[in-house]
Amino acid sequence: MEEQISQDSCDVEMTNSKGVLLKIANLYAEQLMSDVCLVVGANRYPAHRVILCASSDVFQVMLMNPEWNECRESVIELKEDPMCSMVFPQFLKYLYVGQIKVSIQTVMPMLELADKYNIKDLVELCVDYMMKHIAKAATQGYLVSWFQYTISLGNSHVELTQALQNFLKWNLNIVSESNDFNELCGMILVTLLQQNDIVVQSEFTLFEYLEKWLLYKKDQLDKEQEMNEEEKLYELVSTIEAVFVHVRFAMMSPSELAQILVRPILQYHKEFFVERVAIGMSYHSGQEDRIREIRAQENGALQFTPRLYTTDVWGLSMKIDDFEGIENYRSFVALFFSQQDLSECQEEQSVAWEIEFFPRGVRFNRAKLIGVFNTPVSTEIPESIIRTVRLKVLCQEKLEEDRRFTIGVLISGVQNRITYIRTCHVRTAYFSNEFRVLNIDNLIPYEELKLSAVNLSPHLIGEKRDTIQLHVIIAPLGEHASSETPPFEFRNL
């Protein structure tokens, strides 16, 4: 019991809120004076209308509005799916005691119940838990189900949906290893494949992920007893055409395209895959008429647009160890040679780049400008400091004409002791003899990297949590490439 003494020493405000909460909890534990019984599946749960109505406006309407049949009933059956039925006792207990224990396995059905009955404080607890355990959900095979649930609600959980979407796009290698990936809805997969900022080793690797997904779908179709063989084949062929049309075969090398022709998946729709491989070969052989024909189709330009590929051909990794020991304004430099063109019909040419990383701000020393702009008087320029985490990209080549490139910066992070790509920055920029430098600022919030060891930045990785790791990708965008991406909206196949 707490006491609060006012200026008038005779007035004492005493608080026993914990005791009151304990009494309410006892109502649940002892099932005393219950006036309604909730039936969920095969189980019955005695409850109190006043607690249900105070916790949920949905229950309030159900139990207090005379227009609802439940208002006059003492036994009410609630229709819940099996997973929600399993966690319903913990859900009901929360309404009495305000405490709950969730896990990777139980948090989503708990969120479903909280959403359904509009328990806003429980919704916040579940969403907060999910935001902090996305990486673990991915490795344990729950991320896809989380994502598909949140997008089904539209704008209800925007921040969580965006975080799950980003993890899926930027860490497809992690998600694809779980059985959960096989449950990814075709509608969502189609939209995902239209995105330019998917991080994957290569387009051929992405094809392998999709092949695994399709073969799982085929196994599920084979078990369908209500469909005949003709219907199953039609469904399989339709799925192949809807999904694999978004694979960018032109972004595969000729040797990778040749491998497609011997993949197991080919037997299910040979004509389709041969046609898609032919598109890739047309691009590499410089068949302009065929390229323009494909580009004129809906989203056709995406066929000739690279994603964020992580092989050595497309970029380089930088790892900065012992971050605490790095002096302010120090920079780290690396050199990289990118392709000048995506098509192999072009001559082998490369572009040299200097990559300079400033993890602890940028300082410009004091200087003097003498005789600038025909002015004989020298001008003093004071020291300037920019508090930013910057990546400077310098094109070292003398380009004959303006060229467009995609610059991608992937920054690793840690969550639940799992290292993954936490942040992704993408820029489309033109480089020429006049414009050779691109600065990308605020890669990581500057103040975040000043956190103490007690509250480490989630962008510090490694055993000692003192390493920054980033991967820089530089991809040429030819005349046929698109710099625009369709919105992440979902339509039925």
Q: What are the boundaries of each domain within the chain?
A: 15-131, 185-308, 312-360+388-477
Contact (CB, 8 A) for 41 and 85: yes
Q: What percentage of the chain has pLDDT greater than the value 90?
A: 64
pLDDT at 60 over 60: yes
> What is the sign of the dihedral through the CA atoms of 240, 241, 246 and 252?
positive
State the average pLDDT over residues 480-490: 75
- Higher-confidence residue of 216 and 50: namely 216
Instruction: Give pLDDT tens digits for 121-133.
Output: 999 999 999 999 9
pLDDT at 97 over 90: no
Contact (CB, 8 A) for 424 and 470: no
Out of 195-209, 259-273, 368-382, 451-465, pick the least confident: 368-382
CA dihedral 291, 296, 297, 302 (to 10 degrees): 60
Q: Residue 20: its pLDDT value, please? A: 47
Residue 309 CB contacts under 8 Å (≥ 6 apart), including other chains: 200, 201, 202, 203, 251, 315, 473, 475
Instruction: Round to whole Å and give the CA distance between 51 and 42.
Output: 23
- Encoded amino acid at 38, one letter: L
Q: Residue 373: its pLDDT value, please? A: 56
Out of 28-32, 169-173, 426-430, 438-442, pick the least confident: 28-32
pLDDT at 462 over 70: yes
Contact (CB, 8 A) for 240 and 269: yes
State the average pLDDT over residues 40-59: 90
- Encoded amino acid at 306, one letter: P
Q: Residue 372: its pLDDT value, please? A: 56
State the average pLDDT over residues 468-490: 84
Q: Residue 339: its pLDDT value, please? A: 83
308-309/199-200 β-pairing: parallel
- Supply the pTM of this predicted model: 0.89
Mean pLDDT of the chain: 88
> Sorting pLDDT into bands at 50, 70 and 90, what band is 492?
very low
State the average pLDDT over residues 220-236: 92
Q: Residue 35: its pLDDT value, please? A: 82
> Sorting pLDDT into bands at 50, 70 and 90, what band is 16?
very low
Two structure tokens written together for 484:
């625009």
What's the DSSP call for residue 112? H
Establish whether domains 15-131 and 312-360+388-477 are of one fold: no
Instruction: Round to whole Å and give the CA distance between 406 and 355.
Output: 14
State the average pLDDT over residues 134-142: 96
CATH of the domain spanning 312-360+388-477: 2.60.210.10
CATH of the domain spanning 15-131: 3.30.710.10
Three-state SS string over 12-70 comes to: EEEECHHHHHHHHHHHHHHCCCCCEEEEECCEEEEECHHHHHHHCHHHHHHHHCCCCHH
Burial class (CB in 10 A: 0-12, 13-18, 19+), 298: exposed
Listed residue (18, 30, 27) closest to 49, CA to CA: 27
> Sorting pLDDT into bands at 50, 70 and 90, what band is 374?
low
